[in-house]
């Protein structure tokens, strides 16, 4: 996916690293030179220093070609502007990470974002849930429980259970598109709209996410 992230904050860097690790094309934009310099020094990705008051800026950085826009600038006014312009460009998925519930309410009421989160300690997990359309629950110190829907274009489609499972990933339950529990074995091939419950070793989580790209 081509993912445009607006705001190269400390929290954003953790998310950017994870997305880059999973081979997404990530473009970062900010109006703060020190934050952009840090991205350029650490990661081999496109990073642009821009002011956000000109529509042509977003054309130049290719917002109209993005699959996902994530607005997580420290200033919520900019996040609202970014979401508005992303909707203008008909970006398929627009997400926002904001500082206040008031800003979240504005975005939700105007329908400017597919999903809005208020910044929290769990933000890293919440952004990954939005991008990959999964739900993550911490089972214990070693494992996550992950609920995922097999979407169009997912690497899971037509892949067999035995190809996905390894020492760090186990399929627990599969529910079909018509909400029936599937009696599966290792030769079962995942189908579009299957809902799958996985148990995933935290150490294998990054490689596990690549199944959804």
Write the secondary structure of 95-164 as one string of H (helix), E (strand) and C (coil).
EEEECCHHHHHHHHHHCCCCEEEECCCCHHHHHHHHHHCEEEEECCCCEEEEEEECCCCCCCCCCEHHHH
Q: How confident is the model at residue 53 (pLDDT cuts 50, 70, 90)?
A: low
CATH 3.40.50.720 domain locations along the chain: 2-130
Q: Which CATH superfamily is domain 2-130 in?
A: NAD(P)-binding Rossmann-like Domain (3.40.50.720)
Higher pLDDT, 210 or 160: 160
The pLDDT score that the predictor gives to residue 213 is 66
Distance CA 212, CA 9 (A): 25
The pLDDT score that the predictor gives to residue 152 is 84
The pLDDT score that the predictor gives to residue 186 is 93
- What integer best gives the mean pLDDT of the chain? 90
For domain 134-212, the CATH class is alpha beta
Quote the tokens at residue 80. 């609202």
CATH 3.30.70.1450 domain locations along the chain: 134-212
The pLDDT score that the predictor gives to residue 91 is 96
């Amino acid at each position: 996916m081509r993912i445009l992230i607006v705001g190269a904050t400390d929290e954003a860097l953790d998310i950017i690293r994870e997305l880059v690790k999973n081979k997404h094309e990530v473009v970062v934009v900010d109006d703060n030179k020190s934050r952009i310099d840090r991205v350029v020094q650490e990661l081999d990705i496109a990073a642009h220093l821009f002011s956000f008051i000109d529509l042509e800026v977003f054309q130049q950085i290719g917002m109209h070609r993005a699959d996902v826009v994530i607005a997580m600038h420290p200033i919520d006014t900019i996040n609202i502007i970014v979401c508005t312009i992303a909707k203008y460009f008909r970006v398929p998925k627009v997400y926002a990470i904001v500082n206040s519930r008031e800003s979240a309410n504005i975005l939700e009421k105007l329908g400017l974002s597919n999903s809005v989160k208020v910044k929290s300690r769990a933000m890293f997990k919440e952004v990954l849930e939005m991008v990959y359309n999964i739900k993550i629950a911490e089972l214990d110190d070693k494992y996550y429980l992950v609920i995922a829907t097999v979407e169009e274009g997912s690497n899971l489609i037509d892949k067999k259970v035995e190809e996905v499972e390894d020492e760090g990933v186990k399929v627990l339950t599969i529910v079909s598109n018509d909400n029936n529990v599937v009696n599966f074995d290792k030769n079962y091939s995942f189908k579009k709209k299957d809902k799958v419950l996985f148990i995933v070793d935290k150490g294998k989580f990054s490689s596990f996410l690549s199944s959804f790209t």
